[in-house]
Chains A and B, each alone.
Chain A
Amino acid sequence: MFAYILRRLLYAIPILIGVNLLTFALFFVVNTPDDMARLQLGAKHVTPEAIERWKVEHGYDKPLLLNTRVTGSAQLTDTLFFKRSAAMFAFEFGKGDDGRDIGNEIRTRMGPSLAIALPVFVVGLLVNITFALLMVFFRATYLDVWGVVLCVVLMSISGLFYIIAGQYFIAKLWNLLPISGYTGGIHGLKFILLPVLVSVVAGIGSGSRWYRTIFLEEIGKDYVRTARAKGLSEIRVLFRHVLKNGMIPILTGAVVVLPLLFMGSLITESFFGIPGLGSYTIDAIQAQDFSVVRAMVFLGSFLYIVGLILTDISYSWVDPRVRLQ
């Protein structure tokens, strides 16, 4: 088991290096610092001097991979790749265009992101499983049919609609909760409720339909018939036998997104004015702040890889067939 986890961790290293090289290629080779400067300066101000000045100001004036102007190991280290890309392994992201330290921003903005994303994840999981189990319990009746229809309808509606409708009715019309904003601590609760509610509702359609399929597949299996043949009630069969087996794919499917919760949600955070990593990313994209976007791409890939490793571990943890072999 230990060797297995260690092996997964070792596999992650080449993947991360690959991700790093890829982002480097995307952000420095395909889209060179000269291009960035031109974009930032705008068509009117582009002169070779202005570009040079911009590059010096933003620390993009070094060669890409090999610095021939210096000697010794600095030839390799005093380069864009080493300073801006390899440094990301140590979570050194440098400064954004606004002059603030990106690492610092990430640390302070993780909290608000998590404050929304974690409740959405937990409540969403519970709600979706409950709905799925209900539909399965009433399978092949009108309740199930209409449940599926409802799910499809909910899935087909754009996420933006839920946000706008939630803000309009709950915040504006009925004045139950603030329309947007955020503060830390217990007073922040009133700001969190609406985005969480909206996100959970927006996810019900696809989530419960997917879980319903998982449960239905389990319920057709032979062991369920055995459980019924023992004389167990349908409720016991569902909760003890079907749920236990169905939770294996559900949990492992959920674990993979767990680390990504730190990144927050791009759209929800922007609309509700949450100062999290999601809105940070959106702002950086709008401001064409490549250092921040690059940092977020790397961070996202890193967290996704962590999620995959956690999935493997959780698989062997919840499934005795994997755990004991």
Chain B
Amino acid sequence: MSPLLRVDRLVTGIGAARVVDGVSFDVAAGETYALLGESGCGKSMTALSLMRLLPDGGRILSGHVQLGETDVLALPERDMRRVRGGQMAMVFQEPMLALNPVIKVGDQIGEALSLHQGLNGQAARDAARALLDSVGVPDAARRLDSYPFELSGGLRQRMMIAMALAGEPSLLIADEPTTALDVTIQAQVLDVLRNLRAKRRMGMLLITHDLGVVAENADRVGVMYAGELLEEGARDAFFAAPQHPYSRMLFEALPRTGDAGRLTTIAGQVPRLDTQLRGCRFAPRCPFAIARCHAESPGWQELDGQRVRCHLAGSLPAGSVRERVTHPVAAHTPQPLLQVEGLKVHFPIRRGLIQRTVGHVRAVDDVDLTIQAGRTLALVGESGCGKTTVGKALLRLIEPTAGTIMLGGKAVPAKNMPTLRRQAQMVFQDPFSSLNPRMRVADILLEGMDALGVGARGERRGAVARLLDQVGLPDDAGGRYPHAFSGGQRQRIAIARALAVSPRLVICDEPTSALDVSVQAQILNLLKDLQADLGLAYLFITHNLAVVEYLAHDVAVMYLGRIVEQGQAGAVLRTPRHPYTQALVSAVPRIEPPAGQTVIRLAGDQPSPLNPPVGCHFHPRCPHASAVCRQTYPERTDLGGGHWVRCHWVAAQG
């Protein structure tokens, strides 16, 4: 049987760069083919080439794309329009940006229905409603009249999918469809895509950087690097034994359960694509490279069903490329460093003529936390649940509404900011906006020391050199500006800035979520090293449970402004007790799903903290909710070993 989509030696250029260079693959009807790779490796450009929707300046230079009977690249633009959205449809990454902000979603879907099915008026409305039902949008009829900004991220992405389905495509291209979504929502959307593909026997090209998503959704996998496909194979074979050094390093860069060792990092950077490239493109970063690799580009080789482009295919040394360094676990009696009790942050909402306060957003509502010296407490939860606000309130970057903060057993008076700042510092999520672009790196590091009067004036320059060395930046970095650095390097600068005042606690707010896995691995390694060397405590704010497992000693799970479960990382993540934690853990796409785990899927979205549900905040989504949950907020139930939850259901189990 001939495949649904056949891409043959596709070459796409943007300006002087060949962003897709000789890519070939097939997708069969009813099959999901995953295109995997780190950002900038050409996945999106491959997809846009298939749709012939390249950005200005982009051109398909050569190659062949066959979709069913259609020779896609040979079609005149007029006919191509019938293919686009008809035979082949696409779902994009950022659902907020990808929908027109000033047109109702029903009309945006209707447009595609009118174009490809000739449906208009009431017929189109009915069809649109049926589409929304099929992608699981609750209350579909009313939602048709919403504008995109009125919808949550998950709903917007469902709208995008409904729109893509309007032309009944035989191939659906999904470019990072869930990257911008929370895990529980990601799980919902991936389920929708999987079911639709099976029901409609569509072929699906799934573009992602997430190995877990690939493992749970793909039938076959292709790995891209620097515009080329490096390895291709069936999912099971690929996950059992990735053959290409790059694939293997991607695996080992990923933090995994029960793993105390260092993560593999990939040195160097992806080569620039606008230069003449000789030999294997991965050679400058490959630990196995031999002389031939630099001279000669490897061809495809077959290895029990997998195809690899590597000179050493099949003869790579077995086992891990990972350095096995385990950190000595410091034997210590837990010593509380920072304790918060009853922390509340309420933001007033003002309305009307005189800007009267009409209500409060309860971003943080009665949170207790204890961070032990030299240990890592992870604060996990979905976006908007109040994690960042907790972090900022601890440092009084936001003034808390209520609550006491104790540092080393002593209460921190509201006035005494310098003491607090010398003890605790923060590293933010976005390394691009958190560093002042007009200051040299050395001045960025000196700023904090000067402000807090750390160290003698004459010694500060020396301290800068030591800091740069500590975070693994070159000596000359101090004289340069932040824009000269990559995302991972900037995050190192941010860490160095935090360390400049020798704090005992660093609050890290999603420090790796904007980074690729191999760069994330470098930062996680660095954080672990610094903890071992300096005895730092971390409050690690994240939504990424794999990172938590790798890095954290203790975990607090947050939902809608409150902590619902807390305890040692192993206990909470392996035997979660709170229904929300259970769903969260279950929603994470995994390479090796833990045996015997039941799949739990949450319905709906996290409600607004403006008027949270009465009683247990989680009850509208909770599979175990009972009458009492709708009335009273549960007390703590102690499970031993510092592990506790707030849940009536758990309490009733005894």
Chain A residues near B (Cβ < 8 Å): 3, 6-7, 10, 139-140, 221-223, 225-233, 240-241, 244-245, 248, 319-321, 324
> Could you say which residues of chain A place their CB within 8 Å of the CB of B89?
229-230
Given contacts A140-B56, A223-B100, A245-B102, contact A7 B353 (CB under 8 A): yes
Min CB gap B204→A, angstroms? 15
Nearest 4 pairs between A and B by C-beta? Answer: A231-B85, A222-B97, A230-B85, A231-B84
Q: Which residue of B lies closest to A233 (CB)?
A: B81
Q: List CB contacts (< 8 Å) of B86-127 with chain A.
A: 86, 89-90, 92, 94, 97-103, 111-112, 115-116
**Interface residues of A, dominant DSSP:** helix
Pair B149/A221 contact, Cβ less than 8 Å: no
Q: Are A241 and B100 also in contact (CB < 8 A) when A230-B163, A321-B149 are?
A: yes
Q: Within the assembled complex, what's the spacing in Å between the Cα atoms of A244 and B163?
A: 20
A231 near B92 with CB under 8 A, answer no
Residue of A nearest to B83 (CB): A231
Given A3-B352, A222-B92: A320 and B102 interface contact (C-beta under 8 Å):
yes
Q: 19 additional contacts, CB 8 Å, given A231-B112, A245-B100?
A: A3-B353, A222-B92, A222-B94, A223-B97, A225-B98, A226-B99, A226-B163, A228-B53, A230-B85, A230-B111, A230-B166, A231-B82, A231-B167, A240-B103, A241-B103, A248-B102, A320-B102, A321-B102, A324-B150
In the assembly, what is the distance between CA of A302 and CA of B501, in Å? 55
Bound CA span A320–B94, Å: 20
A7 to B355, CA, bound (A): 10
B147 touches A (CB below 8 Å): yes
Asked whether any CB of chain A lies closer than 8 Å to the CB of B51, the reply is yes
Are A139 and B101 in touch, CB under 8 angstroms? no
Q: Is B160 among interface residues, defined by CB-CB distance under 8 A?
A: yes
Check if A232 sits within 8 Å of B353, measured CB to CB. no
The complex places the Cα of A229 from the Cα of B49 at a distance, in Å, of 12
Known: A139-B56, A226-B92. A232 touches B111 (CB 8 A): yes
Q: Which residues of A contact B101 (CB under 8 A)?
A: 223, 245, 320-321
B98's contact among A3, A7, A226, A324, by CB below 8 Å, is which?
A: A226
A139-B56, A319-B102 known; A229-B90 Cβ under 8 A = yes
In this complex, the interface size class of chain B, counting residues with CB under 8 Å from chain A, is 35 or more
Min CB distance A325 to B, Å, is 8
Indicate which residue in B100, B116, B351 contacts A244 across the interface (CB closer than 8 Å).
B100
Q: Which of B90, B100, B115, B166 has the most CB of A within 10 A?
A: B100
B78 to chain A, nearest CB (A): 8
Closest Cβ of chain B: how far from A7's Cβ, in Å? 6
Q: B100's contact among A3, A7, A227, A319, by CB below 8 Å, is which?
A: A227
Q: Least Cβ distance of A81 to chain B in Å?
A: 31
User: Which B residues touch A232, using CB under 8 A?
Assistant: 81, 85, 111, 115
Contact call A231/B103, Cβ cutoff below 8 A: no
In the complex, what residues of A have CB within 8 A of residue B100's CB? 223, 226-227, 241, 244-245
* Residues in chain B near residue A241, CB distance under 8 A: 100, 103
Residues of B within 8 A of A248 (CB): 102
Per the 8 Å Cβ criterion, residues 46-71 of B in contact with A are: 51, 53, 56-57
Determine how close the nearest CB of chain A comes to the CB of B110; give it in whole angstroms.
Answer: 11
CA–CA, A10 and B147, complex, Å:
31
How many Å from the CB of B80 to the closest CB on chain A? 8
CB closest chain-A residue, reference B116? A231
Q: Is the CB of A231 within 8 A of B102?
A: no
- Nearest B residue to A227, CB-CB: B100
- A147 CB to nearest chain B CB (Å): 16
Among the interface residues A6, A223, A233, A240, which one has the most CB atoms of the partner chain B within 10 A? A223
- A244 to B115 Cα, complex, angstroms: 19
| B86 adjacent to A231 (CB under 8 Å) | yes
CA distance A221 to B55 in the complex (A): 11
Instruction: Select A230's contact among B97, B102, B115, B147, beta carbons within 8 Å.
Output: B115
Closest residue to B109 on the A side, CB-wise? A230
Residues of B within 8 A of A244 (CB): 100, 102-103
Can you list 16 A-B pairs with a CB-CB distance of less than 8 A?
Answer: A139-B56, A221-B97, A223-B98, A223-B99, A223-B100, A223-B101, A226-B99, A227-B100, A227-B111, A228-B53, A229-B85, A231-B85, A232-B81, A233-B81, A319-B102, A321-B149
Residues of B within 8 Å of A228, CB to CB, are 53, 84
Contacts of A222 on B, CB cut-off 8 Å?
92, 94, 97-98
For residue B598, give the distance in angstroms from its CB to the closest CB of chain A: 37
CA separation between A223 and B105, bound complex, in Å? 12
- Are A226 and B84 touching (Cβ within 8 A)? no
Within the complex, the shortest CB–CB distance from B176 to chain A, in Å, comes to: 12
B98: A residues at CB distance < 8 A = 222-223, 225-226
**Who on chain B is nearest to A228 by CB?**
B53
* Bound Cα distance from A231 to B250, whole angstroms: 37
Other-chain residue from A3, A7, A226, A320 in contact with B160 (beta carbon distance below 8 A)? A226
A139 to B100, CA, bound (A): 21
Contact (Cβ within 8 A) B353 A324: no
**In the complex, what distance in Å separates the CA atom of A319 from the CA atom of B149?**
11
- Selected contact of A231 from candidates B81, B149, B150, CB within 8 Å: B81
Distance of A14 from chain B, by nearest CB (Å):
15
Please give me the residue from chain B that is nearest to A245 by CB atom: B102
Bound CA–CA A306/B474 (angstroms): 59
145-166 of chain B: CB within 8 A of chain A: 147, 149-150, 160, 163-164, 166
Distance (whole angstroms) from the CB of B648 to the closest CB of chain A: 36
- Smallest CB separation, B361 vs chain A (Å): 14
Task: Given A245-B100, A319-B102, verify A225-B92 contact (CB < 8 Å).
Answer: yes
Q: Please name the residue on chain B nearest to A247 by beta carbon.
A: B102
Q: How far is the CB of A220 from chain B (nearest CB, A)?
A: 8
Give every chain B residue within 8 A of A321 (Cβ-Cβ).
101-102, 147, 149
> A225 to B53, Cβ gap below 8 A?
yes
Tell me the minimal C-beta distance from B57 to chain A in angstroms.
Answer: 8
